[in-house]
Amino acid sequence: MLVSRLGRGALAVWLVLPLVPLLLWAAADRWSAPALLPQAWGTTGLAEARAAGAGPAAVRSAVLGTAVAVLATPLGALAGRALTSGALRAPGLVFAVLLSPLVLPPFAVALGLDVLLLRLRVPAEVGLVLLLTVAAIPYTTVVMRAAYAAHDRHHDEEARLLGASAWQVVRSVHLPLLAPAVAGAAFLAFLVGWSDYVVTLLVGGGRLVTLPLLVGAAASATGNDAQVAVLALSAVLPPVALLVVIGSIGRRARR
């Protein structure tokens, strides 16, 4: 069609090229300019990243991402169900309100709320989870609204006719049929918590060190490219692995 083979190649290069030096640096012990490939391969970057505390930071990021996913996914699912029920008053307005965190810069919300959280003596961790959950609600709502809109309600009616309770319908009809959407919504919410930088920086005041904070600190220093690369990769690989798992859940559900 309009995009030629050459264009396809250029697009593939555009997508992949920024990640190439990341992969090479992660395994380089020595790589001084102008050599195209590292002169010495090794695990210096890994050792430096571990010494910087990458392990505990990754655990903190995973806990944060999980907490956000556990909170934002059911809230988005409930909202998505209500928005597609046809029974909600002013669904357009409600949807706009739920999407509003997408429009507002995260740093502005964190900055405004930080003062308030300090005054109300809310622990930084609680405030952080609250803020990131609100930031994740637009994503979970959009995904679950689309899923419920495509959901065939005759299944519900049949189950009810066969004597299922409302809760049994949710558990035995909705959950299995909507599993791919729930997984997708939870993944996006996890990503919000896992990869957040500026909200953690402002609300955590630098005391709560997650993986992105380590990446930011390492990347703003110079001469530690191997460490930056290892930290950056360890911030990317877990979500990519999750994405592959979720993709396989989706494929199994479609079969």
Partner 1 sequence: MTAAGRPGVGARRATLLVLPAVVPVVVVVGAALTSAALLSLGLTPLVGRPELSLDAWRATELGTSIRLSLAIAAGATAVATVVGLFLALAVTAGARRSRLLATLSSLTIPVPHLVGAAAMGLLLADAGFLPRLLGIAPADWPALVGGRWWIAVGAEYAWKESAFIALVVAGALSSRVASYTETAALLGAGRWARFRHVTLPLAAPALGASAAVSFVYTLGSYEVAALLGRPSPEPLPVLAVRLFTSIDLAARPQAAAVAVTTSALGLVAVLVSLRSLRRLAAEQ
- Give the per-residue contact string, 90-109, with partner 1 (x = CB under 8 A; - = no): ----x--xx-xxxxxxxxxx
**Residue in 57, 58, 110, 185 binding partner 1, rule: CB under 8 A:** 110
Taking the complex as a whole, the smallest distance from the CB of residue 127 to partner 1 amounts, in Å, to 10
Residues 98, 137 contacting (CB under 8 angstroms):
yes
Residues 151, 178 contacting (CB under 8 angstroms):
yes
Residue ranges in 217-236 that form contacts with partner 1 under rule CB under 8 A: 218-220, 225, 228-229, 231-232, 235-236
Q: How far is 65 from 88, CA to CA, in rounded Å? A: 31
**Residue in 45, 57, 141, 184 binding partner 1, rule: CB under 8 A:** 141
**Does 249 help bind partner 1 (rule: CB under 8 A)?**
no
**Residue 222 in 3-state DSSP?**
coil
User: Which residue in 242, 141, 125, 145 sits closest to 190, CA to CA?
Assistant: 242
**Does 150 help bind partner 1 (rule: CB under 8 A)?**
no
Query: Which residues are CB-contacts of 186 (< 8 A; sequence separation ≥ 6)?
Result: 69, 73, 140
Residue ranges in 39-68 that form contacts with partner 1 under rule CB under 8 A: none
Residue ranges in 167-186 that form contacts with partner 1 under rule CB under 8 A: 169
* Contact region with partner 1 (CB under 8 A), list: 40-48, 51-59, 132-140, 178-186: 132-140
Which residue do the tokens 């502005």 mark? 108
Q: Residue 105 pairs with which residues in a beta bridge?
A: none
